Structure 1
Amino acid sequence: MKNLQKLLSHSLLLITLMFTTSFAANAGLINIKHDIIGDFYGKMGSIEVQIDDSLLNTGLLYKSFGDQITLVNISLFGLFSSVGEFDISFFDVGIDSDNIYAGIEFFEFDANDVGFGADTWNYYMIFDAFTFGSLEIFDLNNDFIAFDTFSLSAAQVVPAPSTLVLLMLGMGGLMLRRKRII
């Protein structure tokens, strides 16, 4: 019985290693993140998008032209799109896939914060790396609340590993640890 467990344990370890190497080669997602730094408000939040690495070195990518660019999160003044605190009516982004370390070259964002009743605000942002970025905030009656110009910090480019790869690595580590205990 102990030999059968040992055989099964070694087989699972080999299968785990096989899957992690094959999925790691095809991980394929790259996250690009910037801090949003206002001229008046200082650090206002951040923006993070994700592209598939198959799009690298294909020139300019724009979400509005059908390129696969996903908004992972945009945060402004403590509100986060990733947890549904924004009702996004429009989002577009442009990235030069020949130089992703330059980061986002263009983005436009139009959204309302949600769940604040009469204090719901509309945020409109537009950014162009060659000119400037601006943020305009209005209330629901379209009355002006605030304005700021902003820039983006240097891009943080991170390959996003596959969840399955992380799971397989974790299982392999647990199996090795268990083997050492027995």
Structure 2
Amino acid sequence: MRRKEPVWFRQWTENEREAKALRWFELTWVPGLLQTEAYARATLEGEDLTSAEVEQLVIGRLARQSILRRDRPPLLIAVIDAGVLYRSAYGDRELMREQCAYLAECAELKTVQIHMIPRDIGMYPGLGGPFTIAEMPEGGRIAHVDSQAEAQIVEKPSKIATLERRWERIRGEALPRAQSLELIREAAASWT
């Protein structure tokens, strides 16, 4: 079977599949593991991609989500900036309602925790950008750090330690799980 994700992203998807736990901070989008098909497509709109390339990327992104519903899924703790819930996908209110409703559905999975950073929090350490830390079966940690130009996989212990400290500071600003779920449901209702 032909791989759907880009070559540069393959190492990370393998890490994701093997991970025992994923701690994901996202500033601007719903995390890929929690996206609907329509939302995934919207994130690619305007990129220099053919329709076939968009299709392959969306298929790959959706296929990655299977790890959350397999036997022994990883623990996924996602901290998301609440602005994501209210950022229009090119004016498509139904798309955003469906995405917020799906995010709420995912938040109810036993191994998924979603925590929202309230919109009124002001400046906080997460404004530096999104990242994910994967805890591997042997106890090691690997991170994926995203940027506008190029994503990178980080394995150096001192850099992982820096990201873990930043994670703790970001997580400290987030709402508890139940309040986050309530906020997600309110956002879904606001798009109707």
How high is the TM-score relative to the length of structure 2?
0.24
Larger % of strand: which? 1
Q: Which has the larger radius of gyration?
A: 1
How high is the TM-score relative to the length of structure 1?
0.25
